[in-house]
Amino acid sequence: MSKATLERGINALKEQIDTPTAAFFSSCVNCGLCAHACLFYTETCDPAKTPIHKLEPMRRLWEQEYTLTGRIRKWLGLGKPITDDELEQWSELAYQNCTLCGRCSMVCPVGNDITYMIRKLREGLSAAGHAPDGLIGATTRAVKLGSPMGVTLKALEAQAKHVKEDSGLDIPFDVEGTEYMVLLSSMEIINYPEYLQAIAKIFDQAKKTWTISSEAFEATNSGIQIGTSDIAAELVQRVVDAAEKLKVQTVISPECGHAYMAIRWEGPNLIGRPFTFRVQHILEVLDELREQGLLQVEGVEDGRLTFHDPCQLVRRGGVIEQPRNLMRLVVDNFVEMKDHGKMNWCCGAGGGVSAIEEAEEVRLKAFNRKKKQLSKLHVDGLVTACANCRIQIEEGLEENDMDMPVIGLTEILANHLVEKETGGGSSA
């Protein structure tokens, strides 16, 4: 029995509106600058895709419910009620045409955090039953099967076996009291199994104890993308329970932007209490190891490489310098795109967009932004730190007949690890 209704949606939306939201809506002067920061506008020139416009129903709701003048207007019959049709229309703007990349929030002259509000809008849209089918499917799988892509523990164990065969290293499952507990994203397990092996090698070299929980290894949180905190909380809770059960010190979020956002920044707020353990992104861990001299690498990549910042990691997550420190470790010819770091351009597939079938066309259009950046740079390859970005970029490059390898940063580092007697892997 499904129970999504307009009332539930509006209720959820009203619950989301807070002091910052009210300040943001009070401040917007319709200058249109946010549009120029958003790849969905720049690559389509469709004014409806102006970031702040994606919030119009929410703005009206705020005005009508939470301001005196709005209430008076509503009371006089001058207000325009929010309808299902409208929400359906805005669902397309808020889900398919926004990756929650946060770039708009960086340029707004009055300082509006538009992304913060779009995340909130999704809360209402999903409660009203206007979330896209693709995301509903992914979220359902995440809750019911433990992974949005339906990746089971069995599949992971099979990958672990591969790693063992390949490198001779054990993948430790459910070990209590380790320093680190590693989370993975389904995409990595399926598309980039190299990541698991890289982690194993690095920790082996650094002599760090780590484990994977068989009960909660999935890091992707579809609840965040669809914008349903109740579901996101349930998914976070699984990780928290596992981490607390295994008494680990630090939970490591994998090379995935949204997973980091979900567990690192939204997590404690979702479950309503601070964590008893640390949460770090794998790049933060690696950079720490580098600083401590525990990351011994040799040799450098010979090509001209650049780094694509995953939005949730950099702009929305605060992991900015670490990937650069790590890049310099193994890349001699490291060049930055013009807009990089906290002002990077999104790949076009984050925020759940990649899970929405109907968004495919606009997603590939949005990629043009990255394409333009890359063609200016004349690089031989691109490094990133998010499986989702990686798939999008690979697909986009292929679509545009651009040939260029796309690699995960952790993987590159693993390739350059100083050979150890116990190790069986290859080095570049």
Partner 1 sequence: MNIEAVLLWIRGPGLGLALGIFLFGMAIKLLEIFLLGRKKNLAAVRSSGVAAGFRTILSRSLPPDGNILRRPRFTFIFGYAFHIGLFVVMFFLAPHIEVSHALLGLSWPALPTPVVDVFTIISIIAMMALLWHRLTSPLLKYLTTPQDYLVWALTFAPLLSGYMAYHHLLLPYTWLLSIHIGSVELLLILFPFTKLTHAFTLFIARWYTGMMAGQKGVQS
Partner 2 sequence: MKNDPSLLEVLRQQGVSRRGFLKFCAATASLMALPPGMAPVIAKALEQAHRPSVIWLSFQECTGCTESLTRSHAPTIEGLIFDAISLDYHHTLQAASGSAAEEARMAAMKANKGEYLLVVDGSIPTADPGYSTIAGISNLEMLREVAADAAAIIAVGTCAAFGGLPHAKPNPTGAVAVSDIITDKPIINVSGCPPIPVVITGVLAHFLTFGTLPKLDHLGRPLAFYGNNIHDRCYRRPFYERGQFAESFDDEGAKKGWCLYKLGCKGPVTYNACATTKWNNGTSFPIESGHGCLGCSEPNFWDLGGFYNALSEPSVNTGNAAAFGLVAGAAVGAASGIMARKEKDNTSHAHQKVTVNDLKRGESQ
Count of residues of this chain found to bind partner 1 when the rule CB under 8 A is applied:
60
Nearer to partner 1, 78 or 418 (CB): 78
Does residue 369 touch ligand SF4 according to CB under 6 A?
no
**What is the dihedral angle through the alpha carbons of 231, 235, 241, 246, rounded to the nearest 10 degrees?**
180
Does residue 69 touch partner 1 according to CB under 8 A?
yes
106 to 125: interface string for ligand SF4, x by CB under 6 A = --xxx-x-xx--x-------
Among 4, 11, 36, 300, binds partner 1 (CB under 8 A): 36
Nearer to partner 2, 4 or 320 (CB): 4
Show the tokens assigned to 276. Answer: 């008893």
Count of residues of this chain found to bind partner 2 when the rule CB under 8 A is applied:
29
Which strand (E) or helix (H) includes residue 47?
none
The whole-angstrom distance between residue 310's C-alpha and the CA centroid of its chain comes to 7
Q: Which does 5 bind (CB under 5 to 8 A by kind): partner 1, partner 2, ligand SF4, none?
A: partner 2
Closest CA to 232 of 139, 141, 131: 139
Does residue 317 touch partner 1 according to CB under 8 A?
yes
The DSSP call for residue 128 is T
The whole-angstrom distance between residue 348's C-alpha and the CA centroid of its chain comes to 11
Angle (CA) 80 85 87, round 5°: 80
Nearer to ligand SF4, 35 or 151 (CB): 35
101 to 140: interface string for partner 2, x by CB under 8 A = -------------------------xx-x-x----x--xx
The whole-angstrom distance between residue 135's C-alpha and the CA centroid of its chain comes to 14
Does residue 15 touch partner 2 according to CB under 8 A?
yes
Rg (CA), the chain: 22
Does residue 56 touch partner 2 according to CB under 8 A?
no
Distance CA 301, CA 149 (A): 33
Non-local (6+) Cβ contacts of 314 within 8 A are 320, 323, 341, 342, 344
**What is the dihedral angle through the alpha carbons of 99, 102, 103, 104, rounded to the nearest 10 degrees?**
100
- Residues found near partner 2 in the complex (CB under 8 A): 1-5, 8, 11-12, 14-15, 17, 65-68, 71, 126-127, 129, 131, 136, 139-140, 143-144, 226, 228, 230-231
Residue ranges that bind ligand SF4, judged by CB under 6 A: 28-34, 37-38, 40, 51-52, 54, 98-104, 108-110, 112, 114-115, 118, 346
Q: Kindly list the residues in this chain that would bind partner 1 in the complex (CB under 8 A).
A: 17-24, 26-33, 35-36, 41, 45, 47-48, 50, 52-53, 66-69, 105-113, 116, 264-269, 272-275, 278-279, 314-320, 342-343
